[in-house]
Amino acid sequence: MFKKRSPNIVFRPRRLRRSPACRELVAETTLSPSDFIYPLFVKEGLSDPIPIPTLPGQRQWNVRGAVLEARRAYSLGIPAVLLFGIPLKKDAEGSSAFGKNIITDTLMAIKESVPELVVFTDLCFCEYTDHGHCGVLDKDGDLDNDKTLDLLVKQGISHARAGVDMVAPSGMLDGMVSALRHGLDDAGFPSVGILSYAVKYASAFYGPFRAAVEGSLLQGDRRSAQMDPRNRHEALLEARLDVEQGADMLMVKPANTYLDVISDISREFPEHPLVAYQVSGEYAMIAAASEAGLLPWHEAMEESLIAMKRAGANCIISYYALMYAEYINQA
């Protein structure tokens, strides 16, 4: 006869954590190279790639180097790259952002070498203006939102002609998605997608990136354009406006300090793929702590990235993407 069990059965969750295989079997969140978009900084006039001191493991690339790095990323299972351009010439309107430039040259070269790779391009002017703001300024020195929209469309069409898959406007300008969607469609590029920096906070974690793209402000700040870190519900408004204007994908930036916002937007707009951007400061903190022997590099980085997926992100922009893919492939 079977003994009658006690009604007070103790459930032991540790049974499902007893072995690596068991933990893998019941894992609720997964992270793989196919989840990543890998950022690449391309600089005009370089003969050889240059290490970026503020972002350990990253470089400013010339066209040839960027193509080789993009090809390596794709071979490791990373499906997409995001290009940031650094011109030799800067002026008040960011005129180097238009027409043939370092971005269009790199874009065409990557598409010729790795046609299957998805290429995103950052659309902004902070790297191209001599004052470092994300567009043209009015007579009072404030960002001229609507005049900048016209230039943003011009920049986007330049990238579309060079073969971009998706443009990624990052200036947090009012109406930027609508302007780009109409501009691209009218220019004959209805299939070019838009990844909107829909929710971009005025964050203290952008410092290493500013040095990498040589786009620091001469005066003022970006708080009139980027979101106040104290606001959560406003993020839903910004995302909703971009969805209504035709965005194909949405982004939250930074990621680790705004996991609640990632969760909110993933629930509110489940039909729109959501990208989390692990920004330069978030990456550099872990790198610095690892160098100091305070954190295990790969484990800490992986945990921070899994947090973004667990919160609801579909894709992640991270400077660690290629290193993670290499680490996983060697495991």
Which residues lie below 8 Å from residue 80, measured CB to CB, with a gap of 6+? 36, 37, 38, 117, 118, 119, 120, 165, 315
147 a catalytic residue? no
253 a catalytic residue? yes
pLDDT score of 152 more than 80 = yes
pTM: 0.93
Pairwise pLDDT comparison (295 vs 212), residue with the higher score: 295
In Å, what is the CA distance from 213 to each residue of 66, 99, 184, 203? 15, 19, 26, 17
The answer to whether the CB of 98 falls within 8 A of the CB of 55 is no
Give pLDDT tens digits for 274-323.
999 999 999 999 999 999 999 999 999 999 999 999 999 999 999 999 99
Distance CA 149, CA 166 (A): 17
The answer to whether the CB of 313 falls within 8 A of the CB of 274 is yes
Backbone angles phi, psi at 316, to 5 degrees: -135, 130
H or E element that contains 43: strand 36-43
In Å, what is the CA distance from 128 to each residue of 18, 100, 140, 221? 54, 14, 20, 16
- Residue for token pair 């990235």: 305
Strands 59-61 and 50-51: antiparallel
Burial class of residue 285 (count of CB atoms within 10 Å of its CB; 0-12, 13-18, 19+): middle
Give pLDDT tens digits for 76-108.
999 999 999 988 888 878 888 888 999 999 999
The residue from 43, 90, 111, 200 that is catalytic is 200
pLDDT band per the 50, 70, 90 thresholds, residue 127: confident
**How would CATH label the architecture of 30-330?**
Alpha-Beta Barrel (3.20)
Pairwise pLDDT comparison (137 vs 196), residue with the higher score: 196
Q: Taking residues 198-213, report their average pLDDT.
A: 87
Question: Where are the chain's structural domains?
Answer: 30-330
End-to-end CA gap in the chain: 49
Q: What proportion of the chain, given as a percentage, has pLDDT over 70?
A: 94
Q: How many residues does the structure list for the chain?
A: 331
